Structure 1
Amino acid sequence: MQNKIIVSILTFFILVDTILIYLALTISPIKLKRNVFTFQYGQVIPTDVSEYVNANQSVLENVKLDLSHVSKEVGTYQASITYFNETQYFEIVVEDTIKPKFQLKKVEWHVQLGETLQAEDLIENVEDHSLTKVYFYDEKSGKKSETKSFEIEGTQIERIIVEDQHGNQSSSLRVKVVVEKNAIAPTIKGIENLEIHVGESVDLYDGVYATDDIEGDITSRLIVDGHVDNQVPGIYEIMYTVSDKDGNTTQVVRTITVIEVEDDN
C-alpha cells in the first residue's frame, strides 16, 4: 500500500513537471497589449517597447521593437516585436480626426464695392498639425470659396471656416462685411511738364499710365484733351482724364513748351 502511495505521488509530480515544461515551451513570456495602436497625426509615436508589450523588465530588455515601416503620415503601418526567435506583428494607425481651430483678426471688415477679399486674410492663429485652407462658407449650399467679391452695397454676414488636408473642418465663425461705395479716385502717373524744340515730336501717351485701387490698370481709359503744334513756339496745356467703373474721376494738367531753335548765326 505504501508503495502505491509513493508511486502515485511520483506520478503526480512527473505530470506537473510535464505540464510546466509544456507551458514553458508553448506560452510566450511576452504579450502584445493589443493588436492595433492608434495615434493622432502630429503625436509622437513611442519607441519604448514597454508601450506595446506586457512582460517583466528582464524580458523587455531582450525584446527588439521594429518601427522601420512606420511613418508619421496618416495611414496604417505594420510593426513588430521580436523576442529571440519569436516575432509578433501588430499595426500602428496614424489618423487625423481633430478639427482645426482659429481666430478672426477682427469681427467687422469695411470693403469697397467690387473689392475682393481672401478668406485667409481675415484670420490668424490657426491650430492644426496639417496643412490648412481657409474658406468663405455658405451653410445652406455647403459651397466653399477661398475668395469672394462684394458687388452689393450694404452690410452682410459671412462665415469663415478652416479645413485641413485630411478633411477635418473647423466650426464656422461669423464676420460682418460692410460694403461701401468706392470713393477712391484713380491715379494717373508718369506725367511731367516737358520742353521741346520746334519740329521735335512728342508722344502724349508715352510713359503715362492710370491705376485704380480695385480694378488695377485702367490706362486704356485715359482720355487726352489738347493739342501740341510742334511747329509753333508756345505753351500748350494738355488735360489727362480717367474714370473708374464707379464714376470716380481724376484729371491732371500737363504743360508742354515748344521752344524756337536759336540760330547761331
Structure 2
Amino acid sequence: MSKKYKKLAFFPQGWPEYIYVLSRDIRWYLTFISPYDYYIALTGIETDLVKSTIKRDVKFFVVSAGVDTQLFKPRRRDNDDIKVMVILRPEPNKGAEVAIRTLNLLSKYLDFTAVVIDHGVLEKFRNEIRFKYEAYKPVSREKLVELYNSASVFLFTSKLEGYGLPPLEAMACGTPVVMTDNVGSRAYAVNGYNALVDDTHSPEKLAELIQKVIKDENLREEVVRNGFETAKMHDWERITDNWVKTLKEIEGEIKR
C-alpha cells in the first residue's frame, strides 16, 4: 500500500513453516509483522498463530489458496498398475524420511511403483530405498497433472505447512490422498471424508492407510468424490475473487 497512508498489508509467505526450517526465535519474526495494520493469511490457523504474538490492533483477512481446476482435473488412466506418487523435498519440515520409510514398509505387502518428483532428495536415501520407483525432476504443471492422474494414491508426509497445496491438486485430479496432519492442510483436509490423515506421522500407519484406500473400493470412491468437490470449492477463480474483495476492502479503509 502507499506510504502516504502509513498503513500496510503484509502477507508472510511460508509462515509458520519458516520458523520450523530456520529455527529462529519467534521474536525475529515480530520485527517484520508488528508494523503492519493488515494481515492477509492463507488459513485461520496462520492468523491464530500471529494473533498470539501481536499485542496491537491489527485486522486479519483469510483469503485461502487455490487450484486451477481447468488444468488440474481427472483424466482416464491407461492401466491398472498400482502407483504411489510422492513429492520429495529437502527441507526438514517436508518429511522426506517419513515418505521413504513408509514406501519401504509398503513394499513388503504391496506390489507398486512409486512415482517420485525429486527435489534433490533421492541421492541422500538411495542406499535405503527398497521399493521400485520412477523418478522425475521438478516438472511442468502439465506434466504434474499427468503424474497425479497416473497415481493410485498421492502420499504427502509434511510435518508442518502454512497450507500445503499438493494434496488439493491431487484431489482436483481425482486421486485419493493419504497424508500426515501438517496443521495448515486442516483448512481443507478432513480425515475419512476427502483424505486419509495420520496425526502421528507414523510410517506404519501411513502404509496401512495406503493399503486401505487401495483395497477398499467404496472408501476410495467416497474419498475421491469428496476430494474432488473440495477442490472445486478452492478453485482459483473463487480465490481470486476473494483476493480482489479483500484488497478493495483494505483500500477503502485506508482512503477513509
Q: TM-score, normalised by structure 2?
A: 0.18
Higher relative contact order (CA 8 A, sep 6+): 2
More strand by percentage: 1
Instruction: Please identify which structure carries the higher helix content.
Output: 2
